[in-house]
Amino acid sequence: MKKILLDKVSLIILLPFFLFSCENDYNLNTKQTILECHVYEGQVPKIILGQTLEAFPQYAFNIEYYEQPFYINEYNSNIEISVTSENEVYNSFEMKFQEIPNYFNSTDIYSTKILYFSDENFVPEEGKEYEIEIKEIPEYDQKYTYGFIKLKSKAYIPERIPINHEISEINGSNYGEYLVEVSFDDPSDERNFYFLTVSLIHSDVSISIDTINMEQLWLETGLWLDKPYYPSVWHSNITNRVVENTGNFDPTDPDYFDLPSALNGVLLNDDDFNGQTKELLFEIYEYDLSMDYPTYIVAELLHLSEDYYNYYDAIEKQRDSQSDIFSEPAQSFTNIENGVGIFAGATISTEYIELPILILQ
């Protein structure tokens, strides 16, 4: 009797441990499909597919990839892309490619291609939401597929926000410094997100304001191409910092040179100026100006969807924190169902400003 009782007690003791042991631990998913696409109002989007790389592959070294790490040909004939918005359906996507030279060496030997899909009819409009679905369809007379998991996502194109500008020469400066004020009115209805860039366009040849193609320039900036004219990397200081530092130039002040973003602009949300007019000041220095031909300032305001903002906000956070053990690690943002990446929309408002040719005194 005592033995039976002891056995029962032992069972009671051990049972909870068994129950707990049945719980699943965390799974590490190391191979996922990437979908990347900026959906800009009025521009045919490029849909890029890829595949993530394992951080710790079986062999000790990873080759530093510049080519698209996704064997797209494996699937291309079988992948079906469709984008829908309200009653519109776009499903005539074609595979195209874009030449990408290696920025370490501009010879064609190291150039590669970025493959993407686009449909010339798919021109996004502001205020609309687009839903994308990418799936694999079996080949003729075949039942099996290659295992491509269906991806889904949505992108909203916010409404265009007009921008205004004012330009003034900094008083008392002998170096041809200009202050550019860019302003826009933030709608009060909801939380809004922005990306603002101010680019200096100057050239060794004469160009006119009408011939500046920003999309082409941004593309080439991304490729690090050495062209006769190029947009300068954004390197002005922003808003209050400029105001505070004007007239008290201190080159060691970290605020003065601290770029607010490693991207070529600044990401903003309207938490601090909801429903108000937002003004941003940029300072242009003498050494940014051309002495032979006019210099142009191009201000672009991207009114972003929330996902777009979160994606690039996460990039910034990750860049700053990844190697810093005192920082909280930052996760990459994704809005792709069953995959990773971004499918997000924006509208772009652009202002062109011509500066006079600099004459040194």
Partner 1 sequence: MNKPQIKIIKIHIIFFLLLICILFTKNAYAGDTLRDTISIKLKDNTLLEVFDIISKESGYSFAFSRKLIPEEIKFTKEFDNKSIQDILFYLLRGTGINYKIVEEQIILIKKKNLKRYTISGFVRDNNTGEALFQANIFDKESFKGTVSNQFGHYSLSLPEGAYTLVYSYIGRNPIKKQILLDRNIELSINLEPNIELEEVIILGTERKEIIKRKDPLGKINVAQEKIETLPIIMGEPDLVKSIQLIPGIQGGSEANGAIYVRGGGPLQNLFLLDNVPIYNCFHLLGLFSVFNSDIIGNTQVIKGGFPAQYGGRLSSVVDVKTKDGNMKELKGKISVGLISSKIFLEGPIIKNKISFAIAGRLGYYYIYGQLLPNEIGNDNNIRNYNFKDFNAKVTHRLSENQNLYFSVYTGNDTGEEIDRSRYEDPVDMSFQFDELIDGQNWNNLISSLGWGGKISKKTFGNIQLSTSQYNYSGYVTDSSYYRTTSDTSHSSTNTVLNNEVLNYTGLASIQYQILPQAKLSAGYSYTILNLASKNKQTNHNEYYTSGSNARFDTVFSSYDYKTIENSGYLELQFDLWNSVNISPGVHLSYFQNDNYNNLLIQPRITSSWEFIDDIILKASYSKMGQHIHLLGATRIKQASDLLVAALEKAPSEESDQYSLGFSYLRFKQLGIHIDAYYKKMDNLINFSEGASYFRDTPNWEDKIEVGTGEAKGIELLAEKTIGQFTGWLGYTYSNTTRKYENINFGKPFPYVYDHRHYFNITGNYRFNEKFNLSVNWLFHSGNRSTIPSTFYYNSLNRTDGRMYGPYGYKMVFYNEKNAYQSPAYHRLDISVNYNRIKNKTDRKWTLSIYNVYNRKNVYISNYNENWAHIVGGLGYINRYIDEKKLIGIIPSISYTISF
Q: Of 50-89, which residues contact partner 1 (CB under 8 A)?
A: 50-56, 60-66, 68-69
Return the number of the residue (318 or 358) whose C-beta is nearest partner 1: 318
Q: Which secondary structure element, helix H or strand E, spans residue 266, and what is its range?
A: strand 266-269
Q: Identify which of residues 76 and 322 has a Cβ nearer to partner 1 in the complex.
A: 322
Instruction: Write down the least CB distance from residue 342 to partner 1, Å.
Output: 7
Specify which residues 168 forms β-bridges with.
Answer: 179
Total Cβ atoms within 10 A of residue 321: 14
248 binding partner 1? (CB under 8 A)? no
Nearer to partner 1, 119 or 358 (CB): 119
Burial of 198 (0-12, 13-18, 19+ CB in 10 A): buried
From CA 322, how far away is CA 331, in angstroms rounded?
10
Pairing relationship of beta strands 151-156 and 129-136 according to DSSP bridges: antiparallel
The residue assigned the tokens 């519109």 is: 88
Could you say whether residue 41 binds partner 1 (CB under 8 A)?
no
Secondary structure E strands in 137-217? 151-156, 163-169, 178-185, 193-203
Q: Which of 221, 239, 338, 349 forms a contact with partner 1 (CB under 8 A)?
A: 221
Can you tell me the distance from the alpha carbon of 163 to that of 354, in angstroms, rounded to the nearest whole number? 16
Closer to partner 1 at the Cβ: 51 or 239? 51
15, two tokens = 């049972």
Binding residue for partner 1, selected from 75, 84, 110, 207, defined by CB under 8 A:
110
Footprint on residues 285-324 left by partner 1 (CB under 8 A): 300, 302, 312, 314-324
Selected binder of partner 1 within 78, 82, 84, 114 (CB under 8 A): 114
Q: How far is the CB of 177 from partner 1 (least distance, A)?
A: 21
Instruction: Output the six-digit token pair for 291.
Output: 């002495």
CA dist 191 and 173 (Å) reads 39
Shortest approach of partner 1 to residue 292 CB, angstroms?
A: 25
Return the residue of 11, 89, 123, 219 that touches partner 1, per CB under 8 A: 219
Selected binder of partner 1 within 39, 48, 83, 297 (CB under 8 A): 48
Alpha-carbon distance 76 to 68, whole Å?
14
Question: Judged by CB under 8 A, which stretch of 149-157, 165-173, 176-184, 333-341 contacts partner 1?
Answer: 333-341
**Min CB(64)–partner 1 separation in Å:** 5
Side-chain-facing half-sphere of 197: CA atoms under 13 Å: 21
Give the strand pairing for 193-203 and 229-231: antiparallel
For residue 223, state whether it binds partner 1 (rule: CB under 8 A). Answer: yes
Residue of 174, 331, 359, 361 that binds partner 1 (CB under 8 A): 331
Does the protein bind partner 1 through residue 263 (CB under 8 A)?
A: yes
Q: Residue 232 or 290: which CB sits closer to partner 1?
A: 232
Read off the tokens for 168. Answer: 């003034």
- Measure the CA–CA gap between 267 and 309, rounded to whole angstroms: 7
Distance of CA 88 to the CA centre of its chain: 26
Phi, psi of 337 (to 5 degrees): -75, 130
Which member of 222, 247, 275, 356 binds partner 1 (CB under 8 A)? Answer: 222
Q: Which of residues 136-155 bind partner 1 (CB under 8 A)?
A: none
For the bound state, the minimum distance from the C-beta of residue 203 to partner 1, rounded and expressed in Å, comes to 17
Beta strands 151-156 and 295-304: pairing type?
unpaired
Residue 252, interface with partner 1 (CB under 8 A)?
A: yes
Number of chain positions touching partner 1 (CB under 8 A): 92
Kindly write out the interface string for residues 1-30 of this chain, putting x where it contacts partner 1 by CB under 8 A and - elsewhere: --------x--xx--xx--xx-x-xxxxxx
Q: Which residues contact 216 (CB under 8 A, 6 or more apart)?
A: none
163-202 residues near partner 1, rule: CB under 8 A: 195, 197
